[in-house]
Each structure stands twice: as C-alpha cells, then as structure tokens.
Structure 1
Amino acid sequence: MGLFSNQISRDELKAGDHIYSWRTAFIYSHHGIYVGDEKVIHFTRGGGLETGTGTFLDKFISSSVSNHAGRDTPCPKCGDQSILDGVISSCLDCFLAGGNLYLFEYNVSPVMFLATQRGGTCTIAPSDPCDEVISRAKFLLLRNGFGAYHLFENNCEDFAIYCKTSLVVLSKINLGSSGQATTASLDIQSFWG
C-alpha cells in the first residue's frame, strides 16, 4: 500500500477485506466487502445501478452493475444482477467489472490520511476482526438492510466502512459522509458554485 496506489492482486485478498474498483476513468469507485470464495457483498442503488443521484447528474456519474466482466450476458455464477438493489452478493469478476482491485486501508496515521490524493481510499479508524466484518456484511445481505441508497449520504463506501468498523459516518454539514462522496460533493459544488 502506499500514498499513490492501494492496488493489490487477487492472491493478496483475505476474507473481510474492504475492497474497491475505480469506475468511469477514476471519477468514482465502487466498494464492497470480500467474504471469501471469490464473493463480494456490496451496496447498490437499485435498478441495476451501482451509484447515482436520481437527478440529471446521473448521465455523467451513474454506472450499472455489470454482468460478468463486462459481458452482455448474465454471469453464470451471479445471474442477472441488473434487477437487484440494496445489499447484494456478486462474484469478484462482476464486482470488479473489468477494473483493477484495490484495498481500502484502515488504521492509517493521520499524516498518511491527510496526504492521500483522493478521499475514499483509507481511514484512521481501526478495523474490527475479520469474522465480525464478514458477519455484519452477511447479516445486512440477509436483511437487505442498509437503508435507501444515496450518493452523498448512504453509499457503498459507507456500507463497507460500517461492516469493517460498526461506525456510521455522519456529517454535520451534510456534504457527504464517506471520503469519496465528500470529494465528489465538493467537486460538484465548485463546478456549480
């Protein structure tokens, strides 16, 4: 891991890892919890969308849950995931959607946290033990319970951070809770500001 890249290889993955993959030319990343056996539990908006705002901005930032490695046919392992919403389970290939694999880092030093180039790659919060992380993710999958998806207030990164720490990230100024959402929100505000 480092200041510029948290990219890892598949053989470095461990059950309970918070992983992500960049989408749409590094505009945003999709986050989930690797639970082992090539499976990832992650949080989606619904209607087959990984992210979105429900506004005209979706033309620029919305991305669909892909079928297996970007193919047009449903994945033989996962089926048609375009009809699912909320907390879902996918194979690692479907989760990555042809992108590279990155590991979200926990318990980083405050200096490292402040030095990262973008939000959404690390936190100073420590991670709970892997068995607790996996248990939380599976519980939320069974209940499809993490609330309504919202790009800035309740997204896939927030889901993965909750699974890893049992902490819910709140923002007093409501600009987005996760690091990635805060970065995107500030970018949007400065664009329209």
Structure 2
Amino acid sequence: MVIHFTRGAGQEIGTGTVLDRIIFSSSPARPSDNPCPRCGDYWRDDGVILSCIDCFLYGGELYLFEYDVSPALFLAKPRGGTCTLAKSDPPEDVAHRANFLLQNGFGVYHVFRNNCEDFAIYCKTGLLVITSLSVGRSGQAASLLAAVSAVVSSPLRYLTTSCTGLAAVGYGMYCVSRLVSDIGVRRDVARVPVERLVAHPSLDDA
C-alpha cells in the first residue's frame, strides 16, 4: 500500500481557471462508484490517502527519487524532482510521519507550494521550509523557478554573443538556481516533528 498526498485531478490549485483543467494530480483515477477491491475502503478523492500500488501508478511507471546525492550527481540530472542532497531518515521515522499525516492531513494541496513531492520529502526528511518567500520543497517547482530566473535575469550583453554561449550561460544559471533551491542546502529550512506540524498547521503555510 502507498500513502501519498493529492488533490483530485483537475483541482490542484482550486483557482476556478483553466489551470485547474490542464494540471493533473497523482490521485488514483479509479471512479469512486467502482472502488478498487484492494484499497477501496481507504480511497478518498483528495488529501493524504492510502491506495494500492496499482491504483497509485494507474498504468504509469514507478520512478526512484534519490536522497543524499552528491552535488555533482544532482547537477548531472537537469530535470527537477528526481533527487535531493538532503538525507533520508530511518524507515521507522518515515513511516511514522506518513501514517500520522494519513490520519491528520497535510494541509491544502497547492501545485507549487504544497504538492505530492513536498509531502514525500517531508515524510522522508522531516524538513520544512520556514519562510513565506518560497515555492515549496519540491524539486519540480524549484526547477520551474530556476528556468524562469535563468531566462529573465540573463544580462542583455549576452544577446550579442553566439547562441552556444548564450545557451551555456543560461544553463549554468539554471543549474546554480536549482542547487541553491534544494532543500538539502537551503538555510530557510527546519526539522519539524510531525506532531508539531499538525498542531500548528501554519508552519506548512509558511
């Protein structure tokens, strides 16, 4: 069985805009009127849910997220949401956080600030971002911000160089932005016990 955090497909940010229809969640797509015989008793539309591995994947592939990687390996993987420099806690601590949040929730789902990757990283590390000037803990959100930053912050003088030089500078800025945004190296993070997180949900909204 898999404990994960989701908001129903098409409801990630709840803005009432077209974004709600083009961004999809990790929620099991099985209709509620035909529950899975293995996890139907635990299935819910959103929040922290428990589902079997088949419903969790729903035809997709299972990918391994790596913890405690070296900076060199981190930079060698240009796609965000695949690894972090942060170390994983022992399995019993991870399971305790996940089961506690299954019973008590993990706040409101937001595709940029509080998503399924944020949930997994917190369960594995116990780390939370404690500043409001943040897009969340997830590598995918950080990569998006890094890509935007690399584009908008490139000095105009680079526009006169070759395309190869411009691409190299942009990619370098993207890599540096990803690295400094990783939860394993950021200074605006703190280790927060899960009981305290649930008792003070504003910590997760920071």
Measured against the shorter chain, the TM-score band is: 0.5 to 0.7
Structure of higher RCO (CA pairs closer than 8 Å, 6+ residues apart): 1
User: Which of 137, 144, 161 does residue 98 from structure 2 map onto?
Assistant: 137
Distance change >3 Å, CA 63–CA 150, structure 1 → 2? closer
CA deviation map 1:144-181 (0-9, x unaligned): x2111111111110110000000014566433431112
User: Which of 68, 91, 99 does residue 52 from structure 2 map onto?
Assistant: 91
Runs of 4+ in 1 over 6 A off after TM superposition: 187-191
The letter of the residue matching 2:141 is A
User: Which of 151, 162, 178 does residue 138 from structure 2 map onto?
Assistant: 178
CA distance in 2, matches of 1:108, 1:50: 33
Distance change >3 Å, CA 82–CA 186, structure 1 → 2? farther
CA distance in 2, matches of 1:160, 1:51: 20
Alpha-carbon contact 1:175-1:186 (below 8 Å) kept: no
Distance change >3 Å, CA 118–CA 106, structure 1 → 2? same
Distance change >3 Å, CA 119–CA 64, structure 1 → 2? closer
CA distance in 2, matches of 1:190, 1:81: 43
SS at match of 1:89: strand
Task: Determine which structure has more spread, i.e. the larger CA radius of gyration.
Answer: 2
The letter of the residue matching 2:23 is I
The letter of the residue matching 1:165 is T
Report the CA distance between 1:57 and its aligned residue.
Answer: 1.2
Distance change >3 Å, CA 167–CA 142, structure 1 → 2? same
CA distance in 1, matches of 2:72, 2:122: 23
Alpha-carbon contact 1:53-1:151 (below 8 Å) kept: yes
Count matched residues. Answer: 148
| % identity of equivalent residues | 58
Report the CA distance between 1:86 and its aligned residue.
Answer: 1.1
Alignment root-mean-square deviation, CA: 3.0
User: Which of 50, 66, 69 does residue 108 from structure 1 map onto?
Assistant: 69
The letter of the residue matching 1:53 is I
CA distance in 1, matches of 2:43, 2:26: 7
SS at match of 2:98: helix
Given the alignment of the two structures, is residue 40 of structure 1 paired with residue 9 of structure 2, yes or no?
A: no
CA distance in 2, matches of 1:44, 1:178: 14
SS at match of 1:103: coil
